[in-house]
Structure 1
Amino acid sequence: MLVVFSFTTGEFVIAGILPDVAADLAVSIPATGLLVTAYALGMIVGGPVVTVVTARLGRKPLIVGLITVSIIGNLGSAVAPNYGVLLVSRFIAGLVVATFFAVAITIAVSMASENKQASTVAKLTLGMNLGMILGTPIGTFIGQNVNWRATFVAVVACSVVALLLVLPSVPAHPSTVTGSVLGEMRVFAHRDVQLAIALTAVGNVGIVTVFTFIAPLLTDVSGFSAGAVPVLLLVYGAGAVVGNFVGGWLSDKALMPSLAGLLAALAGILTLLWFVSGIQVLAAIFTFVLGALAFAIVPGMQTRVMATASAAPTLAVAVNASSFQAAAAFAGWLGGRVITSGQGLHSIYLVGAILTLAGLAIAVYSLRRDRHMSLSSL
């Protein structure tokens, strides 16, 4: 969880220190924004590639190696003499994230009891929540009051502490790959695996589109002051923590029915916000609810991928993480197109709801498929 916290902070904190980085390295804000893209591209590329290349390594040495690469990437970011080195360093830091997340989940789930797998995933993803609501603002504060390089030094320090905890506590599991590494790619030919990965990408793209533009939605649509946005983001983050654990508990009880129900609730709330987002009290309340629902679906989606890809769970979860990053990249592009098309900022909520309904359709189809296969086996 602490490693995930460090990785998440390292990913999102750049947004808070962009002006400082731009001023120090004498580059434009748009160019500095590509640092976020470089990290995301590292995750998208690294998910499948790093996982396949390292598939035969023992799980503990692999975990240690992945954390070490991240430390090197963030340390390179802290001492980067120019923009080019910083861009490469951000790519390197992102390169190992999806594989680490996949290996960490498979190790943790293998140690959990059968009815506690999704809640175990939720404990790991809590690090993501805390990275967003605590790590990012703390890192931004350090960057603004010391300098932006100190922010990355702090991320490195946190990762080193996490690594020291990993060394004595993570069991030395061998690699689960016994045949051809490339042969593991056959797992993606299975319809259920394809549906599980599509569920993650499509099911999240609606809420990610909304979250990408949440600051202007709160100020320009709901009428909050700019100073209220950090507070409301904390409210969103508090909802995320609650939703993360509730989603894990629900998924342990009934995986696909709970995912379908949560996606339906998320689509409903987004649609409701399309109507009432101009009422500040309701907008504030629904900000908490959005955070809760956005993260309630995460443990179940990860567990679903592992359940359907039992022959190659680590590779499947890594590709799943990459698909989420691709969905996030698409969300930013789509939201911008919606706004510039004349539909207006307000319509982002409706677009998010429609996209979430597409994810719900995949969940319902998967649930029906499961029930049909269960009846066929009787």
Structure 2
Amino acid sequence: MERSPAARRFAPTALMLGNIVTGCSVLAPAGMLPELATGLDVSIHAAGLLITFGAITLCIGSPLTAWLTSRIERRTLLTTTLAVLAVGNLASAFVPDYASLLAIRLVMLAVGALYTPQAAGTAALIVPVERRGSTIAYIFLGWSLAAAVGLPLITFVASRYGWRAAYGEIGALACISFLLLLLRLPSGLKGAPVDIKTWTEVGRSKTILLLLAITMLQMSGQFVVFTFMGPLFNKLTGAGPDAIGMVFAIYGVCGFLGVAIATRVVDTSGPYRTSLLFTCLLLAGITGWALGAGTFALMAGAVAVWGLGFASTNSMQQVRLVAAAPSLASATVALNTSVLYIGQAVGSAIGGLLFARELLHTLGFVAVGFVVLALLLVLLTRPRSAAAVMA
């Protein structure tokens, strides 16, 4: 059944809300590592592996599921994905041990890997070409809100009512998002099928490969620190759960502002210039963290600057990939999400090893190194002509 024009206008917001659920599902352990470690009788490093192994599952699942499901109608695909996230999070609230929680998380995220790239691809089907960049950036506000609102709430709920209640909170949100998508997303939407030829064309494009490398380096650098941000604040400054929740809120609110600004300027300044600006902000923030580690005010201020760049850089990567090869968008957006999760896995694994060895200050400088490499690659992908800068 075709939706009314009003419903169609609300569809990007419904897609964005689904990204909030996806973001909360992926990031949740970072907001409650101490509670998970205590409740499941494991170390903080082991609790952090929920993010590492989850990211590995996501990076494999994103291109694989894009290929396997490319012929499925989008509303059916996206609502089913949210239903699995709802069931997975609600089931996580009742697990008896760490192994069960990890198993449920891997299954849940193997399906959840579908959502973000397919939501971005669906956006391209429901808005005019001239609004595609800003709409994709808007949909990625969901990840910013997951950090701005979701993570602080997860930290608040987990510190007072336990980690099981936090998972129940995410599951309830997933149920609401499922209903909104079912009611508001138009039916009959199908993207271009993804086949072996598509992947071959992607692999032959130097520009696409460089853009994918940028995504991986940006995310690796961030997740060296982000995975253990709460425990790092506690160990380096003595901050408690409320102060840590406030920092997560600052991070997310600034991320929201960053994407909102990027959404407004990308259609006029172009994805390259917008990407360069926010990558520089990302580097400035993480450098501030590395240099200010040990002082709460300096670290919190650095997180604010970092937050301006964290989600906007990724949304610009999506826009640049779509602009570089519109006919390959279904594959490149899925692959970008995959390498994003590779970055999360690499960063969280390196961060975990350093954290376990109490090399707490070193984490920040390792993160800086990754983002410096990402910035260099951004500069390498500068369009050759003035007109191309806007592409």
Range class of TM-score, shorter chain:
0.7 to 0.9
Contact 1:187/1:311 (8 A) holds in 2: no
What is residue 130 of structure 1 aligned with on the other side?
A: 145
Q: CA RMSD in A?
A: 3.2
What is residue 187 of structure 1 aligned with on the other side?
A: 201
Question: How has the CA–CA distance of structure 1 residues 83 and 334 changed in structure 2, closer, same or farther, with 3 Å as cutoff?
Answer: closer
Q: Secondary structure at the match of 2:93?
A: helix
**Aligned equivalents of 2:174 and 2:68: distance in 1?**
23
TM-score (norm. length: structure 1): 0.84
**Aligned equivalents of 1:294 and 1:129: distance in 2?**
8
**Aligned equivalents of 1:27 and 1:365: distance in 2?**
44
Pairs within 5 Å for 1:192-207: 192-207=207-222
**Aligned equivalents of 2:42 and 2:300: distance in 1?**
36
Contact 2:148/2:256 (8 A) holds in 1: no
* More divergent stretch after superposition (115-124 vs 264-273): 264-273
What is residue 87 of structure 2 aligned with on the other side?
A: 72
Q: 1:60 aligns with which of 53, 65, 75?
A: 75
Question: How has the CA–CA distance of structure 1 residues 307 and 142 changed in structure 2, closer, same or farther, with 3 Å as cutoff?
Answer: same
Contact 1:187/1:309 (8 A) holds in 2: no
**Aligned equivalents of 1:14 and 1:272: distance in 2?**
25
Q: Deviations over 1:245-270 (max 9, x none)?
A: 11222322211122123323433454
TM-score (norm. length: structure 2): 0.82
Post-superposition offset of 1:298: 2.2
**Aligned equivalents of 1:275 and 1:336: distance in 2?**
20
What is residue 316 of structure 1 aligned with on the other side?
A: 332
* More divergent stretch after superposition (311-320 vs 80-89): 80-89
What is residue 163 of structure 1 aligned with on the other side?
A: 178
What is residue 187 of structure 2 aligned with on the other side?
A: 172
Post-superposition offset of 1:217: 5.5
**Aligned equivalents of 2:60 and 2:28: distance in 1?**
21
Q: Deviations over 1:185-238 (max 9, x none)?
A: 2232222221221121123332333434544665666x4644633323322222
Contact 2:265/2:274 (8 A) holds in 1: yes
**Aligned equivalents of 1:81 and 1:219: distance in 2?**
27
Contact 1:247/1:298 (8 A) holds in 2: no
Q: Which has the larger radius of gyration?
A: 1
Post-superposition offset of 1:146: 4.4
**Aligned equivalents of 1:287 and 1:87: distance in 2?**
29
**Aligned equivalents of 1:337 and 1:31: distance in 2?**
10
Q: 1:264 aligns with which of 273, 277, 280?
A: 280
What is residue 10 of structure 2 aligned with on the other side?
A: none
Q: Is 1:98 the counterpart of 2:106 in the alignment?
A: no
Q: Deviations over 1:41-97 (max 9, x none)?
A: 331221011111111111111112222222232233234345443322111111123
Unpaired segments ≥5 residues, structure 1: none
Unpaired segments ≥5 residues, structure 2: 1-15
Q: Is 1:249 the counterpart of 2:273 in the alignment?
A: no
Question: How has the CA–CA distance of structure 1 residues 270 and 139 changed in structure 2, closer, same or farther, with 3 Å as cutoff?
Answer: closer
- Aligned letter for 2:249? L
Q: Secondary structure at the match of 1:311?
A: helix
Q: Secondary structure at the match of 2:114?
A: helix
Q: Percent identity?
A: 25
Contact 2:218/2:343 (8 A) holds in 1: no
Q: Secondary structure at the match of 2:326?
A: coil
Contact 2:90/2:167 (8 A) holds in 1: yes
Pairs within 5 Å for 1:12-51: 12-18=27-33, 21=36, 30-51=45-66
Q: Deviations over 1:114-140 (max 9, x none)?
A: 343333223222221222232233234
**Aligned equivalents of 1:272 and 1:146: distance in 2?**
34
- Aligned letter for 1:311? S
Post-superposition offset of 1:300: 0.8
Contact 1:133/1:234 (8 A) holds in 2: yes
* More divergent stretch after superposition (285-294 vs 136-145): 136-145
